[in-house]
Structure 1
Amino acid sequence: MSLQERNNVHCHGDGRYTMMLVHGYGCDQTMWRFLYPFFAERYQVILLDLVGSGGSDLSAYDRDKYGTLHGYAADMLEIIDEFATGPVIFVGHSVSAMIGMLATIKAPEKFVAQVMVGPSPCFINDDDYVGGYNAEDIEGLLKMMDDNYLEWTKVMAPAIMGAPTQPALARELLVRFQANDREIARHFARVTFTADHRADVPKSTVPALILQCSDDLIAPREVGEYLHKHLAHSVLKVITNVGHCPHMSAPSASSEVITRYLDRLLGGG
């Protein structure tokens, strides 16, 4: 199969730099619909679905390859080689922020910047590290997912989206979660929520913007502060927003922060 078919790749716009927008767990590229048209006026924009998500080729999902985030990072580098027309700005939401970081470690020469939206190198608390959850909490969530996937989606979709004044967004996320292949969703959830990439953080030297929400149940403020402390050439920006998906619930604030950062870093693109 082609890379375009495997990852449902779509390209828009043109420019000196290429911006890759990569969705988080359980989502797809349509989650970027409020942002990508704006950035396509300045950059080539690549939209894609992680294998196992959205309109990707589900037959390409290999539990061994995607048993760690490194498998997805390898896919990102293949897509860059095939589709990118300039140095890459990688914009990753949640788990894809770590996927992008791993790709920058593997091939830093391909990237000029990484934008981490609601990132977390580890969701599990560990001594002084605050990830947001105890190990028992994560196992409980994963067990709920195994026992009753539909109930899990009803609990987690509104918690992840937040945005209490925009209930349609939580309903949209619920529909997306329920449309996923359940076996793939369960596997990817375990990979996502039990991953620990704290040791990899200092290895990434590509300039980074860490974009966090003021009230995020999934990635608390301490996580952003940890990343900022350990990630070279990083900038931490916090926007006032409830939830884990600011590109959906606060797109104007998100695009403004990203634009200001890239203008300072790249001189306006």
Structure 2
Amino acid sequence: MAAVDVLRRNAVSVEGDPAAPPIVFGPGYGTSQDMWRLVAPQFVGERRVVRFDHVGSGDSDVSAYDRRKYDSLRGYAADLLDILRHLDLHDVVFVGHSVSAMIGALAAIEEPDRFAQLIMLGPSPRYLNDDGYVGGFERADIDGLLDALEVNHVSWAAEMAPALMKNPERPELAAELAESMARTDTMVAQHFARVTFLSDMRRFLKNISTPTLILQSADDLIAPLEVGEYLHENIEGSELVVLSAAGHYAHLSDPTEIERQIRRRL
């Protein structure tokens, strides 16, 4: 695939000095790279800053969506590696929100020499509770979520956004989140949700050799504190930071703190 196709497919944006060390920001489920707009530009003066959209979200090329390819998170990891290869990026600091954290982990496992660090914001290797594991959801919870999404994903986004965002005193944040999720192609939103919420990445964690920072919000509906602790225990040499920010989107509600935590690791 030609580089121009990769850039168009994932609506890749690149800022900063091409010779500077790269930092790549990955968006969470159903949202666009705009979710990083309060954090990513702060690094342009010192880093080559790359943002992108997953296929079907944001300004990506939805015609590139292949249901078989994206039937697991490996398809999204392949896209991320495509981007890094075509931009010839090495020593990458990858900052992934939510499911992008696990996508970045898969990519780093496949090509560890391409990555310098993984910074995971609100990650989860498994959303379903299991014996001895707290993921935050029972199967009935996930089934209900997926059923509601398949009825009307725009209404689902509007209803879920306030609970995901928290910070009720700032309703504009939930409104922005709902709008971003509503832009995602309906078929993609439904399929990506099923792939995301039913995935189980736990068996891969032992294979992560890239230095990893886990940023865990203190009050997160999607990724409870036990999930962050599990990741920390199972990713060798990782660091866990519990943020004071509430909600699953700390890069919107407290971008200054997220920037500070990233800088601390650079």
Q: Please tell me the TM-score bracket, short chain as reference.
A: over 0.9
Partner of 1:231: 235
Partner of 2:16: 13
Match of 1:255 among 249, 255, 259: 259
Output one character per residue of 1:109-161: Cα deviation in whole Å (capped at 9) or x when no partner. Answer: 00010000000000000011000001110011101111232331122111122
Matched ranges for 1:39-188 at <5 A: 39-188=43-192
Give percent identity, aligned residues only. Answer: 47
CA distance in 1, matches of 2:210, 2:52: 22
Q: Normalization by structure 2: what TM-score?
A: 0.96
Deviation at 1:176, TM superposition (A): 1.5
Letter in 1 for 2:211: P
Deviation at 1:84, TM superposition (A): 4.2
Letter in 2 for 1:30: D
Structure 2 unaligned segments of length 5 or more: list them. none
- Check the 8 A contact 2:126/2:199 in 1, yes or no: yes
CA distance in 2, matches of 1:224, 1:254: 16
CA distance in 2, matches of 1:80, 1:137: 36
CA distance in 2, matches of 1:80, 1:195: 24
- Check the 8 A contact 1:16/1:86 in 2, yes or no: no
Structure 1 unaligned segments of length 5 or more: list them. 263-269
- Check the 8 A contact 2:8/2:61 in 1, yes or no: yes
Where 1:45 maps in the other structure, the secondary structure is strand
Deviation at 1:85, TM superposition (A): 4.2
Where 2:24 maps in the other structure, the secondary structure is strand
Letter in 2 for 1:257: Q
Deviation at 1:33, TM superposition (A): 0.6
Letter in 2 for 1:63: R
Question: Is the alpha carbon distance of 1:132 and 1:238 closer, same or farther for their aligned partners in structure 2, counting shifts above 3 Å?
Answer: same
Output one character per residue of 1:58-116: Cα deviation in whole Å (capped at 9) or x when no partner. Answer: 00000000000000101111100111444101110000000000001000000010000
Q: Normalization by structure 1: what TM-score?
A: 0.95
CA distance in 1, matches of 2:93, 2:209: 14
Partner of 1:3: 6
Deviation at 1:52, TM superposition (A): 1.0
Question: Is the alpha carbon distance of 1:233 and 1:64 closer, same or farther for their aligned partners in structure 2, counting shifts above 3 Å?
Answer: same
Partner of 1:266: none
Report whether the alignment pairs 1:221 with 2:225: yes
Deviation at 1:244, TM superposition (A): 0.2
CA distance in 1, matches of 2:154, 2:259: 33
Letter in 2 for 1:134: E
Output one character per residue of 1:186-225: Cα deviation in whole Å (capped at 9) or x when no partner. Answer: 0000001110000001111100000011111110000000
Return 171-180 or 44-53, whichever deviates more.
171-180
Where 1:2 maps in the other structure, the secondary structure is helix
Partner of 2:37: 33
The alignment yields a C-alpha RMSD, in angstroms, of 1.2
